[in-house]
């Protein structure tokens, strides 16, 4: 039977599309064991919906690290497109404000430019 930590690693790798690093802090353990093993793996919402919710929360918190992480993963999985992310930025601006949306859009443009180079 898969342990909670093993499930967390598996779901982390499925969602983010990269190998999970060993959890060396309580926050990293919580992300692995709760966020990925329990929340991202729950029934009731598909992964695409979970990406949109997560992107909204990361953008609302102005967390550039989280925005980059989840935008990259969403694009890599093919569950979200560049056009949808641009539309998201506009919708987000209407509810959370243009400054926060501009932060998201700048991050998105930089990320897409980096991806185009590879």
The total domain count for the chain is 2
Same domain assignment for residues 34 and 53: no
How far, CA to CA in Å, does 114 sit from each of 90, 111, 118? 22, 5, 7
Convert the pLDDT of each residue in 77-99 to its tens digit. Answer: 999 999 999 999 999 999 999 99
Same domain assignment for residues 29 and 80: no
- 8-state DSSP, 31: I
Same domain assignment for residues 35 and 56: no
Convert the pLDDT of each residue in 42-61 to its tens digit. Answer: 999 999 999 999 999 999 99
Same domain assignment for residues 84 and 54: yes
Give residue 103's domain range.
47-117
Please tell me whether the overall predicted TM-score, pTM, comes out greater than 0.85 for this model. Answer: yes
Same domain assignment for residues 27 and 84: no
């Amino acid at each position: 039977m898969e342990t909670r930590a093993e499930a967390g690693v598996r779901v982390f790798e499925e969602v983010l599309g990269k190998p999970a690093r060993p959890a060396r802090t309580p926050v990293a353990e919580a992300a692995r064991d709760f966020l990925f093993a329990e929340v991202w793996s729950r029934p009731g919402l598909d992964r695409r919906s979970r990406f949109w919710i997560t992107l909204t929360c990361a953008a609302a918190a102005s967390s550039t690290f989280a925005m980059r992480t989840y935008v990259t993963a969403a694009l890599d999985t093919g569950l979200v497109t560049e056009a949808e992310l641009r539309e998201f930025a506009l919708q987000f601006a209407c509810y959370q404000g243009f400054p926060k949306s501009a932060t998201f859009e700048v991050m998105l443009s930089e990320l897409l430019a980096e991806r185009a180079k590879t």
